């Protein structure tokens, strides 16, 4: 194979990124390090499927009474005087004897190591109690760590006492006691109407494998609780589960597309992802049912047995838009938020707003306000809120996606909606990058229609669209056949391969799918002048809680499982040149032999060869320069290969080997591998 020194196309350093959607417990129970499930007592159970769905309040989901005797305490899930009206339910707990309490199952149980520390916080309001509270993590009844807290003394509620009630009125004979309590330090006393936040730390005295989180009262009494939290101290920024974050960091992603995906639109408009409800204090972030909890989850035999549990799958928004921006900053990735265009998911609903209505105008304003939230001066409303949350500096947002997988129909009016967003955004922020939608699949007629719309828009406005979002979940055969998909695309509009993955017959994360993706990505790289952004989908899957497979990173309560598909993404992202190098026509013949290649070069002149060998035997790839002279010298060879058979319902084990090699006119590509040669 001849590697010409002719410079090809510039490669965006941000080309390989991540797509985050809250599916398969990606956020709550996943990247969000919170151990407590249903921490604000707002859980609902989802039933039905598109067109016929409903939810039922199940505020006590994941919680259970704890008692040393058969006499159980009382757990009531009530509303009336909540911590926040946005999340109106809370726990009214009554113990009937000493050391009774309540526990949280914490998803599939708490798994931590000896010496790990957990930061615990909760809000409480004393109704009728005098004593202490013990917070602990237990495993099979054994206390693995604990902490004791004193609740504040309760002052009786005094409505309008300082204004309308004569000063000589004795509150049930307790006037003197109230006055005494009022003189005590604030951290010792609370009005009966006040929610008080308590904090403590738990340090594990041994490994815990499947523990529960427990709160117990020392004496009989009644106390109300809300927003109970337990987050490991090693959580990155106090938010992100460290081992999962580290896996993302290792990819070195160029961007993150968030928060979806179908959840941007919702199963209904009320169920959509409304970014303004995900910022500000945690207590004021409205809990909603996750779209992926629906879809007739108990009558589909193809889904996991645990899907019945997942009918409670919800979104607490502990990771909201502020946290997404922060995640991008921590990973060194550009943010690419996706916003609703006023339509519920086209696959699930016919609900939409009229593009000529005041209601639709709110969706457009949301986009303008989001840019202000990300970038605005602290003197602005939304920039000021960002500063109050702890980040006065701009997040540097420079692009936004308008809609997700929408396509034009007689009733949806995608183009009218997109026009409204484009005009409003560019009026407020000239030159801002807008990513448009080409529909749900790259090979549908709706995609061609969308491309025609964007090309026409660019004729009148060079900033009309920055990139067009294309999606494809296809077979290995389709991926290999379409490696050249972008060879003839118009270079005036960038492509964003926003969601793609190879779907094998068993929908597995294995070498078969990973090699097909690597081959397709060589096509991305060769066409870097048009493919500016690309992200595999979906990103996460909690073991036993899958609504969709395959997925890049699997995890459970204890471990992270890096798939072969993950390694392909990581290897590409960490081995990008600054520009491509031109190959001769031999690359066509190599594809016919099951070999897929791309070549790039760094600014310093280092050549990076990516090669996929789909054959069941090794392949000797000849290497020569444009004059036919053999390439020789020392090089680094990085190879992704299988590390064992694919187990049932888990990713195929794989490994990456790196070694120094001597290139003498050729390089040996092991069978069924993806290799990178740097020389």
pLDDT in tens, 349-389: 899 999 999 999 999 999 999 999 999 999 999 999 999 99
Report the chain's terminal Cα–Cα distance, integer Å: 15
Q: 184: pLDDT confidence band, cut at 50, 70 and 90?
A: confident
Are the CB atoms for 70 and 98 separated by under 8 Å?
Answer: no
CA dist 377 → 130, 201, 382, 422, 430 (Å): 48, 37, 9, 23, 17
Per-residue pLDDT band at 179 (split at 50, 70, 90): low
Strands 553-555 and 540-542: parallel
Percent of the chain clearing pLDDT 90 (strictly above): 86
Determine the 3-state secondary structure of 47 from DSSP. Answer: strand
Short-list 244, 53, 231, 223, CA closest to 132: 223
pTM for this predicted structure? 0.94
Contact 146, 134 (CB under 8 A): yes
Name the one residue in this structure whose structure tokens are 């330090």: 185
The per-residue pLDDT for 168 is: 56
pLDDT at 636 over 60: yes
pLDDT in the model for residue 157: 73
Euclidean distance between CA atoms 648 and 651, whole angstroms: 8
What is the separation of C-alpha 650 from the centre of its chain, rounded to a whole number of angstroms?
21
Is the model's pLDDT at 192 over the cut of 90? no
Cis peptide before 538 (omega within 30 of 0): yes
Q: How much is the pLDDT for 152?
A: 86
8 Å CB contact between 232 and 552: no
Spatial contact of 149 and 228, defined as CB atoms under 8 Å apart = no
Closest CA to 208 of 74, 82, 111: 111
DSSP alpha helices (H): ranges in 55-200?
175-182
Please report which residue ranges of 253-298 form alpha helices under DSSP H. none
Residue 163 pLDDT > 60 = no
Residues paired with 531 in a beta bridge: 495
CA distances (Å), origin 631, targets 194, 419, 600, 667:
76, 53, 16, 10
What radius of gyration do the chain's Cα atoms show?
Answer: 28
- Asked whether the beta carbons of 430 and 495 are under 8 A apart, the reply is no
- Mind listing the pLDDT tens digit for each residue in 275-333? 999 999 999 999 999 999 986 554 444 544 444 568 999 999 999 999 999 999 999 99
pLDDT, tens digit, for every residue of 435-473?
999 988 888 888 889 999 999 999 999 999 999 999 999
- Domain 44-232 indexed as CATH 3.40.50.300: no
Greatest mean pLDDT among 38-52, 296-310, 476-490, 578-592:
476-490
User: Does the pLDDT at position 175 exceed 70?
Assistant: no
Domain boundaries, the chain: 1-30+236-279+320-534+577-679, 44-232
Q: What is the mean pLDDT of residues 602-609?
A: 96
In contact, 316 and 62? CB cutoff 8 Å:
no
Which carries the bigger pLDDT value, residue 423 or residue 174? Answer: 423
Q: What is the mean pLDDT of residues 57-77?
A: 97
Least confident of 22-26, 70-74, 543-547, 613-617: 543-547
Q: Are 503 and 520 in contact (CB under 8 A)?
A: no
Look at domain 1-30+236-279+320-534+577-679 and name its CATH class: alpha beta
Task: Using pLDDT thresholds of 50, 70 and 90, give the confidence band for residue 177.
Answer: low
Q: Which whole number is the average pLDDT over 526-536?
A: 97
Nearest to 637 by CA among 664, 600, 674: 674
Say what the pLDDT of residue 301 is: 46
CA 313 – CA 557 distance, rounded (Å): 16
Residue 635 CB contacts under 8 Å (≥ 6 apart), including other chains: 660, 661, 662, 663, 667, 677, 678, 679
Mean pLDDT value across the chain: 93
The residue-averaged pLDDT of 78-83 equals 96
**Confidence at 133, pLDDT banded by 50, 70, 90:** very high
Q: What are the two backbone dihedrals, phi and then psi, of residue 488, each rounded to the nearest 5 degrees?
A: -110, 15
Q: Sort strands 90-95 and 196-203 into parallel, antiparallel or unpaired.
A: unpaired
């Amino acid at each position: 194979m001849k590697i010409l020194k002719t410079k090809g196309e510039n490669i965006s350093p941000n080309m390989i990124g991540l797509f985050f959607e809250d599916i398969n417990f990606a956020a709550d129970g996943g990247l969000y390090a919170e151990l407590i499930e249903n921490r604000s007592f707002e859980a609902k159970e989802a039933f039905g499927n598109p067109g016929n769905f409903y939810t039922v309040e199940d505020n006590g989901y994941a919680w259970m009474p704890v008692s040393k005797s058969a006499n159980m305490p009382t757990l009531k899930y009530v509303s009336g005087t909540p911590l926040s009206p946005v999340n109106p339910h809370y726990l009214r707990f009554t113990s009937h004897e000493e050391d009774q309490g309540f526990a949280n199952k914490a998803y599939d149980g708490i798994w931590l190591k000896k010496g790990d520390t957990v930061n615990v916080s909760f809000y409480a309001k004393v109704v009728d109690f005098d004593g202490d509270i013990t917070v602990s993590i237990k495993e099979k009844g054994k206390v693995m760590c604990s902490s004791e807290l004193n609740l504040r003394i309760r002052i009786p509620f005094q409505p309008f006492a300082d204004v309308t009630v004569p000063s000589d009125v004795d509150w049930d004979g307790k006037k003197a006691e109230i006055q005494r309590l009022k003189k005590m330090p604030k951290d010792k006393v609370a009005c009966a109407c006040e929610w008080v936040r308590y904090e403590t730390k738990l340090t594990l005295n041994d490994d815990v494998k499947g523990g529960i989180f427990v709160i117990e009262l020392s004496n009989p009494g009644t106390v109300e609780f809300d927003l109970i939290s337990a987050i490991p101290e090693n959580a990155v920024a106090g938010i992100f589960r460290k081992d999962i974050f580290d896996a993302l960091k290792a990819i070195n992603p160029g961007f993150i597309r968030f928060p979806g995906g179908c959840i941007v639109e919702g199963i209904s408009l009320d169920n959509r992802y409304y970014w303004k409800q995900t910022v500000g204090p945690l207590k004021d972030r409205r809990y909603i049912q996750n779209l992926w909890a629906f879809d007739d989850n108990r009558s589909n035999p193809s889904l996991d047995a645990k899907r019945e549990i997942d009918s409670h799958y919800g979104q607490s928004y502990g990771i909201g838009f502020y946290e997404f921006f922060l995640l991008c900053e921590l990973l060194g990735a550009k943010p690419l938020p996706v916003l609703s265009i006023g339509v519920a998911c086209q696959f699930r609903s016919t609900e939409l707003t009229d593009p000529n209505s005041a209601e639709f105008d709110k969706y457009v304003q949301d986009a303008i306000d989001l840019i202000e939230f990300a970038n605005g001066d602290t003197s602005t409303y939304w920039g000021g809120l960002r500063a109050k949350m702890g980040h006065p500096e701009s997040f540097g947002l420079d692009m936004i996606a308008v809609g997700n997988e929408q396509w034009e129909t007689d009733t949806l009016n995608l183009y009218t909606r997109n026009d409204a967003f484009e005009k409003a955004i560019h009026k407020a922020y000239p030159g801002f990058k807008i990513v448009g939608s080409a529909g749900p699949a790259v090979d549908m007629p709706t995609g061609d229609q969308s491309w025609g719309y964007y090309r026409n828009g660019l004729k009148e406005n060079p900033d009309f669209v920055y990139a067009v979002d294309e999606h494809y979940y296809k077979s290995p055969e389709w991926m290999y056949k379409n490696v050249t998909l972008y060879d003839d695309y118009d270079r005036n509009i960038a492509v964003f391969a926003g969601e793609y993955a190879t779907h094998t017959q068993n929908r597995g994360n294995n070498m078969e799918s990973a090699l097909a993706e690597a081959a397709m990505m060589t096509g991305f790289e060769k066409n870097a002048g048009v493919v500016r952004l690309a992200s595999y989908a979906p990103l996460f899957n909690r073991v036993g809680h899958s609504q969709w497979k395959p997925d890049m990173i699997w995890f459970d309560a204890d471990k992270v499982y890096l798939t072969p598909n993950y390694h392909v993404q990581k290897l590409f992202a960490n081995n990008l040149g600054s520009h491509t190098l031109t190959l001769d026509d031999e690359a066509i013949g190599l594809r016919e032999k099951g070999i897929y290649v791309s070549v790039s070069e760094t600014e310093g002149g280092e050549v990076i060869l990516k090669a996929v060998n789909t054959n069941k035997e090794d392949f000797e790839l000849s290497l020569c320069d444009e004059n036919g002279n053999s390439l020789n010298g020392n090089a680094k060879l990085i190879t992704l290969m299988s590390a064992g058979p694919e187990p049932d319902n888990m990713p195929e084990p794989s490994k990456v080997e790196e070694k120094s090699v001597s290139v003498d006119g050729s390089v040996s590509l092991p069978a069924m591998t993806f290799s990178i040669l740097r020389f």
